Structure formats: C-alpha cells, structure tokens
Amino acid sequence: MPLLSNHIAVVTGAGSGIGRAIAGGYAREGARVVVLDINQQAAATTAKEIRDAGGKAESFALDVTRRDDCIAMAKQVADKVGPVSILCNNAGIARRNGMLGAAEAVINDWEDIIAINLNGVFNVTHAFLGALRASKGRIVNIGSIQSFVHLRTPSSPAYTASKHGVLGFTKALAAELGKDGVRVNAIGPGFIETPLNEKVRAANPDLVKVFIDHTPLGRPGKPEDIVGPAIFLASDMSAYVSGSIVMVDGGYRTI
C-alpha cells in the first residue's frame, strides 16, 4: 500500500532540484501532487514527468513572495484539485556573499533571500493553513545545515538567518498546531547537487572538496537523497514526530 494514498500534496519550488525530486517521490507514494514554482514551464515539466510515470499532478506558477497570490493559489487549488493535506515548503535561493561587500548588493541579498526563504514559507503556510487544519495535515519545511550554523565556505548571513528562521517557524507551528493534529517538521539537507549550486561546483571545486572532506559519508548528496525523509515526514510513519528536523547531510554536523 503506497504511503501517501488519498493525500493532496503541495510542493513549492518543485520545478527544479530537491523540490522536483520530492514531488516525484510523493507521487510515487500515491499522492496527487500540486507542483508550484515561480517558473511556470519548469513546474509544468515536473508535473508532466509525474503524469508520464503514471502519477497524478497539476502545476501552477507561484512566486512565494507574493502573499496575495499565495492566498489566491490556495483557493484555486481547493476549487480545482481538492483539500490539501501535505505542504512541502521547499522554494529557496542561495547567495554566497558576505556582509562586507558593496552596501547595495548586501542589502539586495538580504531582502531577496529573506523574502523567498523565510517570508515565502510564512506566506504559503498561512495561505494553506485552513486546509491543513481541516485535513490534520503535515508540513515539511526545507531547512539546512545553516538552520544551526554559519559556514566557513562563502555564504551569506541572510541565508543563515533565513534557515535558522525556518527551523524556528517549524517549532512554533508544531507547538501551536499540534492540538489540531497538524504535524510540522523540517529537513536539513547538506550539500546537495542541484542547479542551485551548479555554478559554484563548476567554478570552485576546492569549495566542494572542503564540504566533502567534512562529510562522513564522503560524497555530495543528490536530490533523491531527500525524498525518503520527505515521504517519512509526510506519511503516517512519522505519526508521533512533530517540531523536529531530520538532517540529510551525510553526517556533516557530527564533526
């Protein structure tokens, strides 16, 4: 019996990388998947891949920074697809500039990263909250190693702040929504090979080596490595798990 039969799962940023893999995994476990991405074409491609593999999916364009659009999307999904019971807040961006660059760039990084990685998680969650409470749903937020620490490899304070925020939001929601039967957890990926870090990997193999040398499992992660934990947290297998973060980082944080 598939683990997510009779569920409708929304995945943001699902046109690429980790979100695309999670959307595919949820569909393989029987969920009907709502693929959302700022890039309409990318979202449509993920949904088509799912349907071609025999799964159920529809796609819509959504910029998670646009609060009113998130509210309108929740209504549209309720009307056109049905009651959502799983939300995976995955959409995110990363930039690797520190605090000491040109002021304009530092400020732009802060505003863009917080808008997408943190405010976006709030916007989508708030929009789907009614549906998730009604369905005793599950929320899976994508955090990071940077939900706990900053990295010595170049990274922006905004990214670290946003991912600490995602973990804090996860705990706060878990505490408040538990009595409604809604479970809220996070996943903390390590270094996962996706388009997000494609340029860095190509331009700076030394940076990748620093990461891998620090990773007990000795390899970078693949988007598919995140799928099992994402299914676990969305399914009844994790019925008594809430407010937790599952690290999927090859053991990075152990050393």
What residues are labeled active site?
159
Residue 167 or 174 with smaller CB distance to ligand NAP: 167
How large is the C-alpha radius of gyration of the chain?
17
CB of 145 to ligand NAP, least distance (A): 7
CB of 195 to ligand NAP, least distance (A): 4
Closest CA to 91 of 134, 51, 60, 68: 60
CB of 175 to ligand NAP, least distance (A): 22
Start-to-end Cα distance in the chain? 38
CB 41 within 8 A of CB 66: no
d(Cα 120, Cα 90) in Å, to the nearest integer?
9
Closest CA to 237 of 163, 162, 171, 138: 138
Residue 51 or 66 with smaller CB distance to ligand NAP: 66
How many alpha carbons fall within 13 Å on the CB side of residue 114? 10
Residue 133 or 219 with smaller CB distance to ligand NAP: 219
Task: Give the binding site for ligand NAP (CB under 6 A).
Answer: 12-13, 15-19, 37-39, 42, 62-65, 90-94, 116, 120, 142, 144, 189, 191-192, 194-197
CB of 10 to ligand NAP, least distance (A): 12
